[in-house]
Structures are given as C-alpha cells and as structure tokens.
Amino acid sequence: MTSAEIIAIGTELLLGETADTNTRFIARTLRGLGIDLFRATTIGDNAGRIAQAIREALGRAEIVITTGGLGPTVDDPTRQAAAQAVGVELEYQPELWEQITARVARYGRIPTENQKRQAYIPKGAIAIENPVGTAPAFIVELPSPPAPSRSTPAGLPRGEGSRVVISLPGVPREMETLLTQAVLPYLQERYNLHEIIKIRTLHTGGVGEASIDEQIGDLESLANPTVGLGAHSGIIDIRIAAKAGNETEADRMLAAIEADIRARLGSVVYGADDDTLEAVTLQAVAARGWTLVSLESGLGGALTERLVRLGSPTFVGGIRHKVRPEALEDALEEALGEARRENRSLAALGIALSISDDAQVVTALVFTPQGKEEHLLTFGGHPRNAPRWAVNMGLDYLRRYAQGISG
C-alpha cells in the first residue's frame, strides 16, 4: 500500500496571507492513483525546519511531495533543504540554466544572476523541466534506505521499500502542470500503481451530525470502503471512499455502501456529489407544477441569492422585508397578496431570523397550494453561521413538503 505526505512550504502560508490550494489539488490527484495520504504539513521558509520535516515524512511514507520555495530569491530554501535532508550537496545543472534562460528570454529579458540558483538541485536528483515557469522541479530517489553511518543525516528511514522526495513549484498552475504531466506518470511506473480511489458524497438535511452517526456509526469503522461525516450548518455530508483495482470495482463498492446508507436514512438524504439543496428543492417544486416566491428577514439576502443563482424559471422572485419572527406569516400573506390569488400554483417559502442576546430564533413558513407548515427553531451556534443554517433548514422543509414527505 503506497503512502505519501505533502509538505507545503512558505511563510506566507503560515501568516495566513496566502491560501494553500496546492495541498488540496495534490491530495485529490494522489487519491485518484490509489495512494494513501497520511499527513499534510505547512512549514515556513526555513531550510533547517524543512529538512527536518522531509526526514520525518520519509520515515512514515514512501512519497514526500513538497510545494513552494523553488524561486530565485534568498528566502526560497527548498533546494538546499531537500539536499540537506538526504545528505547530499547541491549540484549545478547547465541544461537547467539553459532552460531558465530560454524561458526568461520569452519575456524579452535577460535572467539575473540570482536566478541561477534555480539551476542547482540535489546531487543525483532527476530534473523536471518547467514548461510554464522558471522554477525547475526535481525528484530525489532513495532506492533503498541507507545503512546507518556518520554521514547519514539523523532521521532518515531504516525500513524497507524505496522512497522519493518530489519538489514542485508553489505557483498553483505551475505545480498542477508538472504534477499531472511529469510526476503522475513517474509515480505510476515506479510504484506499479494500478489501484484507484473513488469518492461518493451523500448530502443530508434537517438532522444533526450526532443523529446521522447514531444510525450509520458501524459503517464509519469500515476499512474499505471508508465512511466519514462532515457538518456544514444544517447539512451533513457522508463521504464514502473506495479503493479498488479498477473503476468498475470501485463503483460497485460505493454503490453497495450508498444503498445501505440510503436504506437507513431514507428521505434525510437529498442528493449526492454536486447536488445542492436549493437545486434539489426547486426541482421538487417544479415537479409539482408550482412556482416559488420567497420572503426573508434577517438573512442578509442569503435565501434569495442562492435561489436566483440557479437561474430557474420555477423561482419567480424573492422579497427582503424586515419583520419580527412572530409577524412572518402576516408579512408573507401580505407580500404575496394578489399574486397568490392570481396564481394558484404559487408556493412560498418565508424565513425570518431574529438574533438577540438570549437566543437566535428562526421561523420558517412553507405555503403551497395544498396547505401551510410552520417551524419555530432556535440556533445555538455562532451568529455568523445562523443565516446559512436558517436557509438550509427552510429549504429542506420546502423540499420535504414538495416531495410529499411528512415530518
């Protein structure tokens, strides 16, 4: 079972100045190869700490991928750190300098002397030309763990199996290009990778994480496929991950677990993967032959924005109106007014959120040609999460009503 770790390098990441999108991209790519990702680490621009992180990662995983720190400046220490981690010196590669010079020339410039740093890589490393930037990448192969000696840096693994350190640029588009075009084929050949990992995510609404866990907790202890939960303000995601030798087998494994979960949870599951609650709800409303209007108070336009974004003719308009929760029904009736009398297929969703020092109260009203439902809820989380939670709860009530689901 091939394993990997990711090390994202850059002080700007630790300071929160730059979002780390590289780790997510690499993780998803490794997943597609059937590689188990054990850990992801963020390190600042310090050669000693980076080298230590690489050594520690090599003690746990076969593949260590770093991103960042390959630029031409003094605070780009990854080349030196990688060399230090495996106990070799940096070595100048004339062909890399030629590639860098040619790349810079495309911009009508002459490379500066400090850019020559990018032509140095750990001795014996495999250079990876960067066709979309000036920072070459490299792969350091450790065919077998070295025997202990005074010259071997402390912390290198002593177990069996080959190890590699792959250092990629930090610029996302450059990293993505080199990973997909050069690194993936290399990993597939070196580690004889034939397995894949596929993911299926089920979305549930209207219930809490503890309730879901109570019903499917035994599945969460499975080894393959694995099942995990993620909470998102009124929506609980259930992630199913299957590792198999081919896509057909992975799909079969996913389908079996998904069928089990749906049988246990029933209508609580409203969709999967790219399905959104608002889209599923509008589809259910449209299937009834209804059109929808909304009224919201205290949500900052969150309900209307999510419905408008779909561009569906089923949603005919949203109203923002400051109203107390207890007056929501009257306000909704008044706002609909003549429209409801003229359009007997009109449905309405009204949500009012009131936040005080004591409580965050949500009133959700569902009006349809078949009747009315009212729900009074209190939210105990952070006030900034209350609008999203209120919208999700309200949409789920409407979805259930439109789908003919009681409760």
pLDDT of residue 132: 85
What's the pLDDT tens digit per position in 291-323? 888 888 888 889 999 999 999 999 988 877 777
pLDDT score at 322: 79
For residue 122, give the nearest of 61, 163, 165 by alpha carbon: 165
> Where does the pLDDT of residue 147 fall: very low under 50, low under 70, confident under 90, or very high at 90 and above?
very low
Residue 343 is predicted with a pLDDT of 65
Query: For position 154, what pLDDT does the model report?
Result: 42
pLDDT digits (tens, 9 = 90+) for 353-388: 777 667 788 888 888 888 888 888 888 888 888 899
Domain 196-272 has CATH 3.40.50.11890: no
What pTM, to 2 d.p., does this model score? 0.75
> Encoding tokens for residue 166?
């792959």
Mean pLDDT (whole number) for 216-232: 92
pLDDT tens digits for range 89-99: 999 998 988 88
Q: Is the torsion defined by CA of 307, 312, 318, 324 positive or negative?
A: negative
Q: In 3D, which of 196, 199, 182, 204 has the Cα closest to residue 129?
A: 182
pLDDT at 91: 93
Predicted local confidence at residue 336, as pLDDT:
67
- Express each pLDDT in 100-143 by its tens digit: 888 778 777 887 777 888 889 999 999 998 888 888 899 999 96
Judged against a pLDDT cut of 70, whether residue 282 lies above it is answered with yes
Look at 381 and 333; give whichever has higher pLDDT: 381
Burial of 407 (0-12, 13-18, 19+ CB in 10 A): exposed
Instruction: Report whether pLDDT(155) > 50.
Output: no
Q: Do domains 3-190 and 277-402 have the same CATH topology?
A: no
3-190 classified as CATH 3.40.980.10: yes
Mean pLDDT, all residues of the chain:
87
Domain ranges of the chain: 3-190, 196-272, 277-402
pLDDT, tens only, 59-84: 999 999 999 999 888 778 999 999 99
Q: Stretch 45-65: mean pLDDT, rounded? A: 95
Question: What are the beta bridge partners of residue 200?
Answer: 240
**Domain covering 277-402 in this structure, CATH number:** 3.90.950.20
